[in-house]
């Protein structure tokens, strides 16, 4: 029974199949399952599943992502962007942890585990008290500090309107000086020989 | 990795030797006596080469072993959520060989058989559907060439000149001819009556891998030119590029080109997933951040001469070549400067620019061993002129991470070597 312009390919998805794959959670809470988890439970689950990379206090180990800290640093020279300092919606944290963490062993956490881990991440960012319990019912009450920190792409107004003009072809600058050189940093892999030789060149 | 180190090192030494021989070196064609490569019968002119059964699926000849993807270890915590780089310094034309086309994964390159592949369309559709791979091959097909550029391409260069080579500064890009089904066709198969007014609707797309890489795409783009692709450059997608099915999102940042595509959901709002909140948002100097910066603006780079592709032939005729591209449409012009932007001359496009595809440019010139500060400047069909890094920084600061489409400068020295520099 193909409809207009349809080829009749594929078959209807079953409710169980949609439920298995459609697990995304939106900022308004759409998609959140019934469940709950406490900061205390989250601390234990986080310690067992997450701390090896993200640190016992979600502060990050080595090069692995920091999940906590960085409040007020977004305009700094080196901003620290974490769930607390940067992420606009808690839904994203729940959704991402549930679907894609722990790294290398994703989709192994129960819904309640995820609520508990997210509660612990909030606690690590000083956004809730240590007796806090996160659930699908109070989820939208949590205030994310950087919720209003985003603007929709405004390049059309701030850039395109300026840079869509005929460019200079002759006598465009009085002088040109080299202000920075990559070989000074010397962080390009397997090019050490080249960098050294360049430094030695007259 | 040590095998890959040698050819690169050799190539450099060869370049140095030629440079050391002086600018009069012009190669074997100006030999003092008869050339034994001509006067003596060479082995390959006498005995057999390989039979046609030797290589059912061939790789490049060993002498091209430096034309490979490269990893920069310090960039990321783990190679399974990381990036590597296309050797654009060594390529020509516009089509990227799949085998050295860059990779970016968030939980590794997964192995997904066609038999195990399923694509679901659900959400605000009349009939949620499941397709097998075989189903997809029965829809009408389209062919298009498009560039896929990582949003972070050139991102390490925001604060200054850092990595020494076009591969590293501009190599998070590839350009392929895709075969697939338009996303519009598949959405129509599920039916969009249930979605009501399509103007404010979205599709959320995600992959079959652990990272999922979910992204929200506005419906007008989804119904315009987005492709559900299963072939690239004539053959099946490579495993690392999404085998058996990926999304192709012309002109838009590479992160949205979801690989191992498993689900398309029509939604009333953007999901605001991790890859469009925590990542792929661009922080400005005042601490606010742009989101949904989907389009890749006009950009270009000179691929040769460049730090990994020094001038080794001495003075005389020199081909300056590079790539230009724009997510807003076709490249109409590329200008080249040899003096750091004081004066410009318009380069020759190898072919007229194609929409949202790499365009090759050449400047056939003479070089007399003088220092050069080489730059290229792309202009697209909207009249947009590729900006300098200073112009970008003035609007954005230095912490945007993504969308660095600034003019690149290579400092070519009298010995023919080139360095990544910034100029005033």
pLDDT in tens, B373-413: 999 999 999 999 999 999 999 999 999 999 999 999 999 99
List the single residue in A17, A53, A100 with the smallest CB-CB distance to B212: A100
Q: Tell me, what's the pLDDT at A3?
A: 64
pLDDT at B347 over 50: yes
Same fold, B77-152+176-290 and B299-421: no
What does the pLDDT look like over B302-330, one tens digit per residue? 999 999 999 999 999 999 999 999 999 99
Euclidean distance between CA atoms B240 and B107, whole angstroms = 11
* A169 close to B410: Cβ distance less than 8 angstroms: no
Euclidean distance between CA atoms B8 and B307, whole angstroms = 12
Choose the mutation target among A58, A194, A195, A197 for the interface with B, i.e. most B CBs under 10 Å.
A194
Complex ipTM over 0.85: yes
| Locus of tokens 């994310």 | A144
Q: How far is B129 from chain A (nearest CA, A)?
A: 4
Beta strand B372-380 pairing with B409-412: antiparallel
3-state secondary structure of B70: strand
Confidence of residue B27 (pLDDT cuts 50, 70, 90): low
In A121-140, the residues whose Cβ lies within 8 Å of chain B are none
Q: How far is B329 from chain A (nearest CA, A)?
A: 14
- Partners of residue A149 in chain B, C-beta under 8 Å: 287-289
pLDDT at B3 over 90: no
List the single residue in B168, B291, B340 with the smallest CB-CB distance to A152: B291
pLDDT at B1 over 50: no
pLDDT at B6 over 60: no
Dihedral over alpha carbons B414, B416, B422, B424 (to 10 degrees): 30
Question: Within an 8 Å CB–CB cutoff, is residue A188 touching chain B?
Answer: yes
Q: Tell me, what's the pLDDT at A1?
A: 46
Q: Output DSSP code: residue A143.
A: P
Confidence of residue A101 (pLDDT cuts 50, 70, 90): very high
- Residue B3: its H or E element: helix B2-20
Determine, for residues A182 and B421 on separate chains, whether the beta-carbon distance falls below 8 Å: yes
Q: How far is A101 from chain B (nearest CA, A)?
A: 8
Q: Tell me, what's the pLDDT at B43?
A: 97
pTM of the model: 0.93
Question: Within an 8 Å CB–CB cutoff, is residue B384 touching chain A?
Answer: yes
- Partners of residue B190 in chain A, C-beta under 8 Å: 10
Query: How high is the mean pLDDT of chain A?
Result: 92
List the single residue in B129, B278, B343 with the smallest CB-CB distance to A10: B129
- Partners of residue B373 in chain A, C-beta under 8 Å: 176, 178
Residue B309 structure tokens: 């592709």
Confidence of residue B30 (pLDDT cuts 50, 70, 90): low
Determine, for residues A181 and B161 on separate chains, whether the beta-carbon distance falls below 8 Å: yes
* Choices 3.40.50.300, 3.90.420.10, 3.30.360.10, 3.50.50.60: CATH for B77-152+176-290: 3.90.420.10
What does the pLDDT look like over B280-309, one tens digit per residue? 999 999 999 999 999 999 999 999 999 999
List the single residue in A75, A150, A189 with the smallest CB-CB distance to B72: A189
What does the pLDDT look like over B178-221, one tens digit per residue? 999 999 999 999 999 999 999 999 999 999 999 999 999 999 99
* Radius of gyration, CA atoms only, chain B: 23
In B324-353, the residues whose Cβ lies within 8 Å of chain A are 335, 339-345
pLDDT at A162 over 70: yes
* Choices 2.60.120.560, 2.40.50.140, 2.60.40.650, 3.30.365.10: CATH for B299-421: 2.60.40.650
- Give the count of alpha carbons within 13 A of B111, CB side only: 0
List the single residue in A53, A159, A195 with the smallest CB-CB distance to B395: A159
Domain-wise residue ranges, chain B:
77-152+176-290, 299-421
Query: How high is the mean pLDDT of chain B?
Result: 93
Determine, for residues A10 and B135 on separate chains, whether the beta-carbon distance falls below 8 Å: yes
Euclidean distance between CA atoms A32 and A23, whole angstroms = 8
| Mean pLDDT of all residues in B236-264 | 98
| Mean pLDDT of all residues in A160-169 | 96
Euclidean distance between CA atoms A61 and B353, whole angstroms = 47
pLDDT over 90 percentage in chain B: 91
What does the pLDDT look like over B120-145, one tens digit per residue? 999 999 999 999 999 999 999 999 99
Question: Within an 8 Å CB–CB cutoff, is residue A26 touching chain B?
Answer: yes
Instruction: Return all residues near B111 (Cβ < 8 A) that are at least 6 apart.
Output: B239, B243
What does the pLDDT look like over B136-189, one tens digit per residue? 999 999 999 999 999 999 999 999 999 999 999 999 999 999 999 999 999 999
Euclidean distance between CA atoms A164 and B383, whole angstroms = 5
- Dihedrals phi, psi of A139, to nearest 5 degrees: -55, -45
pLDDT at B24 over 80: no
Taking the CB of residue A14, how many other CB atoms lie within 10 A of it?
A: 11
Confidence of residue B20 (pLDDT cuts 50, 70, 90): very low
CA A40, A41, A45: angle at the middle one, nearest 5? 125
Instruction: Return all residues near A182 (Cβ < 8 A) that are at least 6 apart.
Output: A188, B161, B162, B163, B164, B307, B419, B420, B421
B87, B212, B235, B241, B420 from B105: Cα distances, Å? 18, 10, 21, 9, 27
| Mean pLDDT of all residues in B36-55 | 97
Determine, for residues B274 and A181 on separate chains, whether the beta-carbon distance falls below 8 Å: no
Which of B166, B152, B268, B398 is CA-nearest to residue A191?
A: B166
* B217 close to B184: Cβ distance less than 8 angstroms: no
In A69-98, the residues whose Cβ lies within 8 Å of chain B are 74-75, 77-79, 81, 83, 86-89, 91-92, 95-96
What does the pLDDT look like over A169-191, one tens digit per residue? 999 999 999 999 998 888 888 64
Q: Tell me, what's the pLDDT at B77?
A: 84
List the single residue in A6, A18, A88 with the smallest CB-CB distance to B277: A88
């Amino acid at each position: 029974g193909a409809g207009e312009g349809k080829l009749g390919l594929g078959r209807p998805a079953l409710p169980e199949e949609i439920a298995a794959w459609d697990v995304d959670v939106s900022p308004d809470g759409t998609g959140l399952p019934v469940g709950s988890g406490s900061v205390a439970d989250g601390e234990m689950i986080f310690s067992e599943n997450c701390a090896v990379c993200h640190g016992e206090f979600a502060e990050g180990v080595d090069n692995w992502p920091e999940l906590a800290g960085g409040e007020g640093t977004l305009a700094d020279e080196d901003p620290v962007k974490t769930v607390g300092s940067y992420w606009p919606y808690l839904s994203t944290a729940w959704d991402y942890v549930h679907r894609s963490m722990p790294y290398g062993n994703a989709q192994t956490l129960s819904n309640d585990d995820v609520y508990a881990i997210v509660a612990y991440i909030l606690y690590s960012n000083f956004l809730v008290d240590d007796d806090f319990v996160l659930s699908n019912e109070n989820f939208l009450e949590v205030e994310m500090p950087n919720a209003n920190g985003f603007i929709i792409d405004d390049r059309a107004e701030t850039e395109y309107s300026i840079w869509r003009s005929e460019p200079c072809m002759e006598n465009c600058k009085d002088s040109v000086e080299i202000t920075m050189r990559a070989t000074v940093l010397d962080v390009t892999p397997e090019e050490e020989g080249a960098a050294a030789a360049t430094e030695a060149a007259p | 990795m040590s095998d890959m180190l040698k050819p690169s090192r050799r190539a450099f030494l060869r370049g140095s030797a030629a440079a050391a021989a002086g600018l009069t070196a012009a190669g074997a064609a100006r030999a003092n006596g008869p050339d034994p490569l001509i006067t003596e019968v060479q082995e390959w002119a006498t005995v057999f080469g390989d039979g046609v059964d030797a290589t059912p699926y061939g790789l490049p000849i060993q002498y091209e072993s430096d034309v490979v993807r490269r990893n920069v270890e310090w960039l990321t915590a783990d190679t399974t959520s990381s990036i590597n780089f296309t050797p654009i310094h060594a390529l020509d034309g516009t089509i990227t060989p799949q085998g050295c086309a860059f990779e970016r994964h968030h939980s590794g390159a997964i192995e997904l058989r066609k038999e195990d592949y399923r694509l679901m369309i659900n959400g605000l559709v009349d009939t949620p559907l499941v397709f097998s791979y075989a189903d997809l091959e029965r829809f009408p097909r389209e062919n298009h060439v498009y560039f896929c550029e990582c949003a972070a391409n050139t991102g390490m260069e925001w604060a200054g000149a850092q990595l020494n080579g076009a591969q590293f500064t501009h190599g998070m890009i590839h350009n392929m001819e895709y075969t697939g089904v338009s996303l519009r066709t598949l959405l129509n198969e599920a039916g969009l009556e249930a979605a009501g007014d399509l103007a404010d609707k979205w599709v959320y797309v995600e992959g079959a891998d652990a990272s999922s890489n979910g992204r929200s795409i506005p419906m007008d783009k989804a119904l315009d030119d987005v492709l559900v692709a299963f072939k690239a450059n004539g053959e099946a997608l490579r495993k690392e590029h999404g085998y058996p099915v990926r999304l192709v999102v012309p002109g838009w940042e590479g992160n949205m080109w979801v690989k191992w595509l498993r689900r398309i959901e029509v939604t009333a709002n953007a999901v605001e997933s991790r890859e469009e909140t925590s990542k792929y948002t661009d922080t400005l100097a005042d601490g606010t951040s742009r989101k949904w910066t989907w389009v890749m603006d006009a950009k270009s780079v000179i691929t040769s001469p460049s730090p990994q592709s020094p001038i080794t032939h001495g003075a005389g005729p020199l081909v300056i070549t590079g790539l230009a591209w724009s997510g807003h449409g076709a490249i109409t012009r590329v200008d080249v400067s040899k003096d750091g932007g004081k004066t410009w001359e318009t380069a020759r496009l190898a072919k007229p620019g194609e929409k949202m595809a790499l365009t090759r440019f050449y400047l056939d010139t003479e070089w007399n061993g003088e220092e050069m500060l080489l730059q290229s400047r792309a202009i697209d069909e909207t009249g947009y002129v590729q900006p300098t890094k200073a112009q970008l920084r003035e609007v954005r600061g230095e912490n945007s991470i993504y969308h660095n489409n600034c003019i690149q400068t290579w400092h070519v020295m009298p010995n023919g070597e080139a360095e990544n520099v910034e100029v005033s």
